[in-house]
Structure 1
Amino acid sequence: MVSDIRLTSHMKSEIIRSIRSTLLEYGSATKVELSHNLQISFPTIGKFLKQMENRGEVTSVGLDESSGGRRAIRYTYHPNYMLGIAIFLEKSETNYTVFNCLGEVIEQGNTHSMLEEDVLHLAAFIENKRSSYSNIHAVAIGVPGAVNNGTIFHIPGYENYHNVDLKKVIEEQLSIPTVVENDMNAAVIGYMDQRKVGDNISLFYLYLGKNGPGAGIVINGGIVRGKTYFSGEVSFVPQYDDRNFLQALSCGNDGERSIEQMERKTDAISRLVASITSILNPHYIIFCDDEIETLTLHQIVERSATYVPKEHLPELAASDMKHDYLNGLQSLGLSLLISQQIDDLH
């Protein structure tokens, strides 16, 4: 059991993170319950709770019923003590939510697309939101491109963001902990969080997209990023003698919705489903509900079965990608919030 003798800075941060997580998960707890659940000594828990109560991070919500001794004080976390902001950048617009430590939305909206502008415009937008919510302590940003630890290294069509360490730019400009994530990785995180997907589940989340197709991939509950963080860039998957997946989806005249074009699109997606089935054998392949109709899903299943035995096909389903995307970014932002250092909050 951890006591407060010679606690390092890292250990102190871990204790605070654990207390925050437990109170947020269970709603409330006593010192005894926290000490027992976290395997941290009662005096140490008491010391940290006192500090957190003094700065308004936790509050006491009354006394428990007596079990023969002194009645225990029950504590709860103040969910609005820290806020986060989740932002995702798209071709047509920029969507955002301001949320608290319970994931409750404080403000939600959209504005013009910032992908064509300098990244400092994005920093200015975040700073403007912080002027309204001074306790924003985490930023989560989603982008339609490949990301390696905060650096966007593949984002076709948006040179202002190409090879930019966006995490570093925002943290240096605003001094707010920031996470930057690929759009489909964020969406698949949000999908799993909302549905409480277990660690043994594998799935493939496909977005055909305005900027070209992309995918979020989960194997046994974990995001697959790959050697160079290029995983999920399915545009490049070769499908025909002279066409990759992106080219196969794009064939035909702009705006054309002929039966022949729809057949070609269905075949291209079915070939990808068959390839993913053969390589990953996932439980689910998720499509965006504003891109695929239920009838088309049935057609994809039947066409895919001409390429791979039907009994091995995953379940095909559709989901609200925007909803999943924002929830995924909020989940990443919440992880930053509960890991905040004490010095960062002053």
Structure 2
Amino acid sequence: MTTLPAKPGLLKQANLSIIRRALKNKKTATRAELSEETGISPTTTRALLTEMMGNGEIESAGFDASSGGRKAERYRFQMDKYCGAAFCITDEEVRFLLTNLYGEVTDTAILQIQNDNIEQTIISFLDRLILTKEIKSIGIGVQGVVDGTFFWKKRLHDDELYRVDIGSSLMKRYGIPVILENDLNATAIGFKLCYEKEFPCEKPDQINMAYIHFEKGCISAGFIAEGRIIRGSRNFAGELGLIPVEGGRLLEESLSSCSDDAQYTDRLVKILSWVCGILNPQYIALGGSDLRKSCISSACDGLSAYLPDHMAAELLYSPDVWNDYFHGLAFLTSEKMFDEIQFVKE
């Protein structure tokens, strides 16, 4: 988001962004509803809607029933007018997602990294994409610690952290909002969205959940409290594998060295009990290629025996981590659309 002093030349652009965000959130709305929602005058709202109709970004969704006067026309976005471009970065490739206004994935592609240059790979793809699609936001999912428009990543040869400043360069080049998110946080958000869809009685802003991912040599987590990701003061929340345990080892080493399922289950229950004791989540979702699925049931029993009912979380299983990741990053990318300008008084 760009913060600027309020000047007449930019006022129309700001009002358009506000109207677009309001209509996106409401899905359909009348002129009066948008004016009331945004605080923009009915006259200005009418002029902006007329312009948006003229350039094909919105369409009529019909008319409300008359209460004696003129029927109010209802508006909605053309679903294929605006898109978001999301990129899931791994060490080997970049997975691209095209998302519509509402975070639904409409197309995918796998990009091979060119000359070990991830940023140039994404730029080359985007330069071609914007010729055929009107891209309104960019999302980047990374295996690293996100800090605003850049992220920190480990060097392969010495494990030292180095800074990758990809977000600001993309914003400067394309002039649209860019969001960076840690892959596990995006995955946790995606799992939460899928869970909400399956159980619509859940209130999104009241969900408390931990998503723990088990991969060879790595245990990490995304934490959600009252619908929002917990990042920590330095964005390192969720790095469970780096916690030291008995024998001078790290947690991820301790779990991966378990020779049998009984030992694995015992250590898994301890991890789960720590999370329950610190965060007290309602749910803990488990996923990842190195998770021993056969131990989940016994871990559930062990956790129930280890903690009182009001502390123990309900265990859930995530069968498709990539699906969760895609859903989460697509949603975050779509949420950045029209997040362009905010005015302040000088």
Instruction: Work out whether the TM-score is over 0.5.
Output: yes
Deviation for aligned residue 1:306: 5.8
1:115-154 map, 5 Å: 116-131=116-131, 133-154=132-153
Unaligned runs of 5+ residues in structure 1 are: 1-5, 253-259
CA distance in 1, matches of 2:105, 2:194: 15
Q: CA deviation at 1:186?
A: 1.0
CA deviation map 1:271-313 (0-9, x unaligned): 1101111111111111127554654211212333565445521
User: Does the CA-based 8 Å contact 1:239-1:268 persist in structure 2?
Assistant: no
- CA pair 293-241 structure 1, distance change in 2 beyond 3 A: closer
CA contact (8 A) 1:86 1:96 kept: yes
Q: Shift of the alpha carbon at 1:234?
A: 1.1
Which amino acid in 2 is paired with 1:276? V
Number of the residue aligned with 1:257: none
**1:194 counterpart = 2:174:** no
Report which stretch shifted further, 111-120 or 160-169: 111-120
Shift of residue 20, structure 1, vs aligned partner: 2.6
**Structure 2 unmatched runs, 5+:** 1-5, 197-202
Determine if the alignment matches structure 1 residue 270 to structure 2 residue 253: no
Q: CA deviation at 1:34?
A: 2.4
Q: Offset of 1:7 from its aligned partner? A: 8.1
Matched with 2:200 is none
Residue in 2 aligned with 1:157? 156
Residues 89, 113 of structure 1: 8 Å contact kept: no
Q: Name the residue aligned to 2:236.
A: 230
2:211 is aligned with 1:205: yes
Give distance in 2, aligned partners of 1:289 and 1:119. 27
Do the aligned residues in 2 keep the contact of 1:79 with 1:100 (CA within 8 Å)?
A: yes
- Match of residue 286 from structure 1: 285
Change (3 A) 1:302 1:65: closer
Letter in 2 for 1:225: R
Which residue number corresponds to residue 214 of structure 1? Answer: 220
TM-score by length of 2: 0.82
Structure with the larger strand share: 2
8 Å Cα contact 2:104-2:330 kept in structure 1: no
Hey, what does 2:253 align to over in structure 1? Answer: 247
The change in CA–CA distance for 1:95 and 1:79 in structure 2 (over 3 A counts) is same
1: CA distance, partners of 2:264 / 2:257: 8
CA distance in structure 2 between the aligned counterparts of 1:75 and 1:180, rounded to whole angstroms: 32
Render the CA deviation track for 1:82-124: whole Å, top value 9, x for unaligned: 2111111224543221111133333113244679545322322
Determine the structure 2 residue equivalent to 1:167. 167
Provide the C-alpha distance between the structure 2 equivalents of 1:261 and 1:94, rounded to a whole number of angstroms: 36
Task: For residue 327 of structure 1, report the CA deviation from its aligned partner.
Answer: 1.4
Take 2:190 and 2:13, find their aligned partners in 1: how far apart are those partners? 26
Alignment of 1:103 onto 2:109: no
Q: Distance in 2 between matches of 1:39 and 1:172?
A: 31
Comparing 216-225 and 97-106, the one that deviates more: 97-106
How far off its partner does 1:27 sit? 3.7
C-alpha separation in 2, matches of 1:109 and 1:191: 22
CA contact (8 A) 1:206 1:215 kept: yes
CA distance in 1, matches of 2:178, 2:83: 13
Cα drift, residue 14 of structure 1: 6.0
- Aligned-residue identity in percent: 27
- CA RMSD after TM alignment: 3.2
What CA deviation, in whole Å up to 9, does each residue of 1:47-104 have, x standing for no partner?
Answer: 2212322332222345445433233333221222221111112245432211111333
Distance 1:277 1:45, change over 3 A: same
Residue identity matched to 2:272: V
> CA offsets, 1:23-62, max 9 Å, x none?
3344432212323444443223212212322332222345
Equivalences, count: 329
Spell out, residue by residue over 1:299-342, the C-alpha distance to the aligned partner (whole angstroms, 9 max, x if none). 21233356544552100101232122111111221122132459
Higher relative contact order, chain-length normalized (CA < 8 Å, sep 6+): 2
